Amino acid sequence: MNIITKLLCSAACLAATSVSAKDLEVTHWWTSGGEAAAVSTLAKAFNEKTDHNWIDGAIAGGGGTSIPAIISRIIGGEPMGATQLNHGRQAQELIEAGMMTDLTEIAEAQGWRDIVNPVSLLDSCTVDGRVYCVPVNIHSAQWLWVSHGAFEKAGLAIPKNWDEFVAGSAELEKNGIVPLAMGQQGWQQSIAFGALVLGVVGVDKFLEVTGDKNAEVAAGPEWTRAFQSVANARELARKSKVQDWNLATNMVITDTAGGQIMGDWAQGEFQVAGEVAGVDYSCLPGMGFNEILDTGGDAFYFPVIDDADTKAAQMELASLLISPEVQVEFNLAKGSLPVRGDIDMSSANACMQKGLNILAAGGIMPSNRQTFDADTDQQINDLMAEFWATDMSATDAQASYVSIIKRANYIITTQAINWPV
């Protein structure tokens, strides 16, 4: 019996002499080429470093499709051994219902609060002082990915920020290039919305709305300008007809689009395609305006399963996911930043180094999934899906957004919810 199992088992378990090998089903929605390469590093480590077997439970369709399916299985009495979810409160109700395994003992034994940076990633899955997840990475959404080939074909200099990107859009179109690649899904359009708004209003005004739920600020002139900027971006993406985010990334890789607003997980797609950062493409954190990134990303949760051997396998996986070696291998493949601040990431590419430098300088803020409840987050996604697919005016979109923020503020006020910001 290994040390982690000994640490976490009850007295009865401690009396045992061995732990049976278990097949542990792990659900996730990492199905693109870059994502599949990254998750394979986790499966390989689990299979090679423990006596157990990783049974891959990939769910196609992204988080919007997968999260309801994952939650439904757990509630329906068919839990998987482990599952990916995002940083935030997606598992809040499952935790409160006693359906997620408490990881506090292993977290304290391994000093997670001392090694996880920022520690707010743990706070996002801490309920009543108990820890229920293993953070594995930090993904930020505020990135503009630029195709060098597309801009060179149009005879343009490579843009260094969003304003320069927009300035070259007409020339891109003249050369048969779609200025902005955009997948036709609300969560993707919501990412673009957030990145653009942050660039226009600045960090303070942005957090007054997303963090403090200040509807008056959301209705103010700074946000009016921001919504108009999003409307302008919508026009640049009119000819982008792909559905999935990685297909939009592929438009940038193949130089058929000038750029894409997408999280840093896009790096995995560029890597699989053999693209070189700074040569074939550029990455502009904060849209080239703000040296700040949000701390979104992924964590693993372990549904309660009444079997001692399964729980032992779960704890071994939990320990492995946050180990230095796995943190390096997984995040290099995924294009994400590690949650550990004490590991060597010197082999990371130029784009990852930008993110690491911003993280080291403290240029971070909470993601929407850390500041909004799941219903509010989905309402914003739905609003953006409608806005990008129609001719809804910027004025009407702002009014709808203000209503969403008012509702979110009401929920926090009446239920006394304190989100980790």
Instruction: Summarize pLDDT for 333-345 with one digit per residue, the tens.
Output: 998 999 998 999 9
Give the angle subtended at the CA of 268 by the CAs of 245 and 113, to the nearest 5°. 105
- Higher-pLDDT residue of 16 and 318 is 318
Instruction: Summarize pLDDT for 275-289 with one digit per residue, the tens.
Output: 999 999 999 999 999
**Secondary structure element (H or E) that encloses residue 260, with its range:** strand 257-261
Query: Is residue 14 pLDDT above 60, yes or no?
Result: no
The structural domains of the chain, ordered by start, are: 3-138+295-348 (3.40.190.10), 141-293+361-421 (3.40.190.10)
Instruction: Summarize pLDDT for 135-173 with one digit per residue, the tens.
Output: 999 999 999 999 999 999 999 999 999 999 999 999 999
* pLDDT band at 247; cut points 50, 70, 90: very high
| Whole-number pLDDT of residue 375 | 87
- Helices 394-415 & 221-236 angle (0-180, nearest 10): 120
| Whole-number pLDDT of residue 19 | 65
Provide the pairing of β-strand 53-58 with 23-28.
Answer: parallel
Instruction: Summarize pLDDT for 100-118 with one digit per residue, the tens.
Output: 999 999 999 999 999 999 9
| Whole-number pLDDT of residue 257 | 98
